[in-house]
Structure 1
Amino acid sequence: MSIAKALEATFTNVSIISSITSTVFIILLGFYLRKRGTFGETFGKILSKVVLSVALPALAFNSFMQPISHETFTQGLNVLIWGILIYIILIFVTPFSYTKFPKDKQETLAILTTFGSTTFFGIPIVGAVFGAKGIMYSSIFNIGYRIFLYSYAYIKMSGLKMEASNIKKMFLNPIVIATFAGLILWMIQDFMPMVAVKQAVNGVIAPNAPTINVAFYRIDQTALWLFKPLQYLGNLASPLAWLSIGATLGSISMKDAASDKASWYYSFNKVILVPLLNLVLLFILTITHILPVSYVALATVIIMMATPTASVASAYAISFDRDAVLASNASLISTICAVVATPIWIALLEVLNQVGIFK
């Protein structure tokens, strides 16, 4: 397919366009309601807590309630490997982007560039565009992210050794628990006791649905009464996250942040260069068959890496007095840039899909 036809196919794809407009419009709605005063000063933080503690864990767990195949298992394993390798690469590469800055500011910007808001910003968008499979890949990809965020980033920003409290945060986070539980259940399902049930699609059993054999714990087929509440909670993740992002943007002084040139430079690196680096490296690894990834796996990684500053990384900078003002400005500017850049990345990825570069 030619590039022109691929572009036409992309921008006439109702699913892709509606996913992009949903993201942008709901973020703008949150921004408007915060500026108008409908949302209070702490409303964005309250929404984010609901998303992180309830909606995203439900979304992550439910994403693994699907059949396993050789293809999905291989892709999941490749995403896991890449999710660890890319953070090792970024830890060594990102400091070179800030050699003109003082050493302390260089370290802060490098950490902020390495760790984006993959959980809060990335997963809801991936889910909206690519559904359960994208959420599953994004949850697997985030395993490496959390390992390095709560270990390397903490040590680097605090100047201290790893604390037991951070190890606890790493493994007892509701999203991590849901991800590991879902991942393990997904991987071992073929070895578990099976039950015969009428096949359900999206939580609905049609009158003429075929009978299938599934693992007894596949609640999407065996316990719809439990799967549906989790599905409703998971469906809250995207709109609540986007409203929270908009409300947060509406509560910060854009004038002060916009005058910070370092934040704009950082934001370009974060939402353009980092995902571009991932795209190039994954393209090379795929065509050489060293670590091949499918289109959905690739797109998931790119969207996850084109995210603004991670709230945890920003909190480290503020807590340990590591250029707190810069971190706050960078968080705001990178969020605005990500809102603009993410639809462009989604469109570009869909063009690559139409052209057939990734299967």
Structure 2
Amino acid sequence: MSVLKAVESTFTNAAIISSITSTIFIILLGFFLRRRGTFGENFGKVLTKVALTVAIPALAFNSFMQPMDGDAFKQGMGVLVWGIVIYILLIFITPFMYQRYVKGQREVLAILTTFGSTTFFGIPIVGAVYGAKGVMYSSIFNIGYRIFLYSYAYIKMSGLKMEAKNIKKMFANPIVIATFLGLFFWLAQHLVPQVTVHAAINGVQTTGMTTVAFYRIDQTALWLYKPLTYLANLSSPLAWLAIGVTLGSISFADAAKDKTPWYYALNKVILVPLLNLVILWLLDITGILPLSFVAVATVVVMMATPTASVASAYAISFDREAVLSSNASFISTICAVVMMPVWIAILQVVSGLGVFH
């Protein structure tokens, strides 16, 4: 397929366009309602808490309620490996992007560049565009992210040794629990007792029969799966509204005065995802780590996210360039909102060209 044909196919795809416009419109709605005063100062934090403790864990768990074949297992493990390797690479690469800055600023900017808002910003977009399989891959990819975010980033930003409370925070997180539980269920589904039930498609029971693991609630317990689905469906609108509310709470003029957050945003939402796309393409054509288009697209979207809230919180808590970190978070969020539709379009063009299988 030619580039022009691939571009045409992308921008005539109603599903892709509607996913992009949904993201933008709901973020703008949150921004408008905050500016108007309909949403209060702390409303964005409330939305964020609901999304992170209820909606996104339900989304992560439900994404694993699907069959596992050899290819799906291979793709999932490939994403897991890359999710660990890329953070090791970024830990070494990102400091070189900020060589002209003093040591303290260089360290903080490098960490903020390495760790993006993959859970809160990335997963809802991946779910909207690439469906349950994309969410599953993003949940697996986030395993490496959380390992390094709660260990390396904490130690580097605090200047202290790893504390037990941080390890507890890492594993007691509802999203982490839902991810590991879902991953275990997905991997073990052929090793547990099987039951034969009427097959269900998108939560609707059919007359056909299927044999699945007894805990595949999408087939065996629709009464439990459907409530989780409703909660999971809240993740995207809640996250996008909260992003809009956050943007509406901060003075753009104050944050935009400094050139450093703009340079950081360029690295975070353009160079880092581009680096991932190029390396994954090289690994694919050499046969070292062949990943499907959905897996690659999921990784790129996850890496094109703005500053991770946890990384920003570290900077504020330990007084490590707190103002710079806050401005970088704000500017990178605006840039990510603008660039995300561009990245989705680029990825669809790449798909149309058949670069990844």
What TM-score range do you get, normalising by the shorter chain? over 0.9
SS at match of 1:289: coil
SS at match of 1:82: helix
Superposition deviation, residue 191 in structure 1: 1.1
Code of the aligned partner of 2:157:
M
Match of 1:329 in 2: 327
Match of 1:166 in 2: 166
SS at match of 1:217: coil
Match of 1:199 in 2: 199
Mapped to 2, the partners of 1:188 and 1:285 lie a distance apart of: 29
Mapped to 2, the partners of 1:46 and 1:69 lie a distance apart of: 39
Superposition deviation, residue 265 in structure 1: 0.1
SS at match of 1:211: strand
**Identical columns (%):** 73
Structure 1 residue corresponding to 2:233, chosen from 232, 235, 258: 235
Segments of 4+ moved more than 3 angstroms = none
Match of 2:40 in 1: 40
Mapped to 1, the partners of 2:292 and 2:115 lie a distance apart of: 24
Superposition deviation, residue 51 in structure 1: 0.3
Q: Is residue 308 from structure 1 mapped to residue 306 from structure 2 by the alignment?
A: yes
Match of 1:342 in 2: 340
Code of the aligned partner of 2:19:
S
Mapped to 2, the partners of 1:265 and 1:55 lie a distance apart of: 33
Match of 1:6 in 2: 6
Code of the aligned partner of 1:243:
L
Report 1:59-78 matches (<5 A). Answer: 59-78=59-78
Code of the aligned partner of 1:120:
F
Gaps of 5+ in 1: none
Mapped to 2, the partners of 1:303 and 1:97 lie a distance apart of: 21
Aligned-pair Cα RMSD in Å: 0.4
Match of 1:127 in 2: 127
Superposition deviation, residue 205 in structure 1: 1.2
Q: Is residue 49 from structure 1 mapped to residue 49 from structure 2 by the alignment?
A: yes
Q: Is residue 225 from structure 1 mapped to residue 230 from structure 2 by the alignment?
A: no
Mapped to 1, the partners of 2:237 and 2:244 lie a distance apart of: 11
Mapped to 1, the partners of 2:329 and 2:155 lie a distance apart of: 21
Code of the aligned partner of 2:99:
T
Match of 1:152 in 2: 152
Match of 2:244 in 1: 246
Structure 2 residue corresponding to 1:297, chosen from 295, 301, 307: 295
SS at match of 1:145: helix
Mapped to 2, the partners of 1:354 and 1:97 lie a distance apart of: 32
Mapped to 2, the partners of 1:224 and 1:212 lie a distance apart of: 14
SS at match of 2:210: strand
Code of the aligned partner of 2:277:
L
Match of 1:80 in 2: 80
Gaps of 5+ in 2: none
Superposition deviation, residue 210 in structure 1: 1.3
Superposition deviation, residue 253 in structure 1: 1.1
Mapped to 1, the partners of 2:85 and 2:170 lie a distance apart of: 18
Code of the aligned partner of 1:180:
F
Superposition deviation, residue 46 in structure 1: 0.3
Q: Is residue 258 from structure 1 mapped to residue 259 from structure 2 by the alignment?
A: no
Match of 1:181 in 2: 181
TM-score, normalised to structure 2's length? 1.00
Mapped to 2, the partners of 1:160 and 1:231 lie a distance apart of: 41
Task: Count matched residues.
Answer: 357
Match of 1:136 in 2: 136
Match of 2:104 in 1: 104
Superposition deviation, residue 289 in structure 1: 0.8
Match of 1:270 in 2: 268
Superposition deviation, residue 260 in structure 1: 1.2
- Superposed CA deviations along residues 249-285 of structure 1, whole A, max 9, x for unmatched, are 0001111101110000000000000000000100011
Mapped to 1, the partners of 2:52 and 2:73 lie a distance apart of: 26
Structure 2 residue corresponding to 1:281, chosen from 268, 272, 279: 279
Superposition deviation, residue 323 in structure 1: 0.4
Match of 2:318 in 1: 320
SS at match of 2:38: coil
- Superposed CA deviations along residues 284-304 of structure 1, whole A, max 9, x for unmatched, are 111111111100000000000
Superposition deviation, residue 337 in structure 1: 0.2
Mapped to 1, the partners of 2:167 and 2:130 lie a distance apart of: 31
Q: Is residue 24 from structure 1 mapped to residue 24 from structure 2 by the alignment?
A: yes
- Superposed CA deviations along residues 175-203 of structure 1, whole A, max 9, x for unmatched, are 00000000000001011111101110110
Mapped to 2, the partners of 1:191 and 1:262 lie a distance apart of: 53
